[in-house]
Amino acid sequence: MITLTVNGRSHEVDADPATPLLYVLRDDLGLHAAKYGCGFGQCGACTVMVDGRAVFSCVTPIAALPGRQIKTVEGLGTIEDPGPMQRGFIEAQAAQCGYCIPGMMMRAQALLEQNPAASEQDIRDHLALNLCRCGTHMRILDAVKRAAALMRSARGPDAGTTVATDGAAR
C-alpha cells in the first residue's frame, strides 16, 4: 500500500509502485481531469502539480510520491465555486475540444503560484510543453492572464509585485 495525498486528502493505494500516477488518479481515485495523451511526457495532457510544480503524471511513478502534495484540476475549485484558474478558462471560453485544458490549467496554476506577476512571455514559455491541436492558444493565453488577475485581486492590492535583486519593484 502506498499513501498519496491528492487535493489535500490522503488515499491508500494498492498498486505496483512503478504505476504511473495518471493511472492511479483515473482508475483508483476517480479523478478524470488529467488525460492520457502520449504516455511519454511529451504532450502535457496529463499534467498535474506535485509540491507546487507541474509534472507529467503519465511518467511519474507513484513510488516517488508518498509524503508529497499532489493537486489536480479537481483540487482547484468546484462546479459551484470554480477557482480563479477555472474561472479564467470559463470566461475566456478557452476550451474547444477540451482535451488539453486540464493539463494547461495545471501548468499555468503552477506558474502563477510561483510567479503571480508572470508576463505574457513567461506564460507562453511555461505553457510551451503542453500541446493543443485545436489551436485555441490565444484563448488559453487570455484565460491564464484572466486567472492571474483574479488570483492577484483575491490576494490584495500588493499581490503580484516582486522585488528584484536590485530592490526595484516589478
Cα distances (Å, whole numbers) of residue 48 to 31, 40, 97, 162: 11, 15, 19, 26
Cα distances (Å, whole numbers) of residue 36 to 17, 52, 82: 19, 21, 24
All three cell numbers of 13, joined, read: 493505494
Instruction: Judge contact between 31 and 71, C-beta under 8 A.
Output: no
**Separation CA 130–CA 28 (nearest Å):** 25
From the list 62, 78, 149, 142, the residue with the least C-alpha distance to 104 is 142
What is the pTM (predicted TM-score) of this model?
A: 0.88
Q: Is the pLDDT of residue 86 over 90?
A: yes
From the list 129, 110, 6, the residue with the least C-alpha distance to 53 is 110
Spacing of C-alpha 21 from chain mean position: 14
Instruction: Judge contact between 49 and 73, C-beta under 8 A.
Output: no
Whose cell is 498519496? That residue is: 4
Q: Is the pLDDT of residue 69 over 70?
A: yes
Q: How confident is the model at residue 164 (pLDDT cuts 50, 70, 90)?
A: very low
Same CATH topology for 2-75 and 84-155: the answer is no
* pLDDT score recorded for residue 157: 59
Instruction: Judge contact between 116 and 148, C-beta under 8 A.
Output: yes
pLDDT, tens digit (0-9, with 9 covering 90-100), for 113-162 = 999 999 999 999 999 999 998 888 999 999 999 999 999 988 775 544 44
Which CATH number is associated with domain 84-155?
Answer: 1.10.150.120
Q: What is the residue extent of each domain of the chain?
A: 2-75, 84-155
pLDDT, tens digit (0-9, with 9 covering 90-100), for 3-55 = 999 999 999 999 999 999 999 999 999 999 999 999 999 999 999 999 999 99
* pLDDT score recorded for residue 8: 97
Which of the listed CATH numbers 3.20.20.70, 3.40.718.10, 3.40.630.10, 3.10.20.30 matches domain 2-75?
3.10.20.30
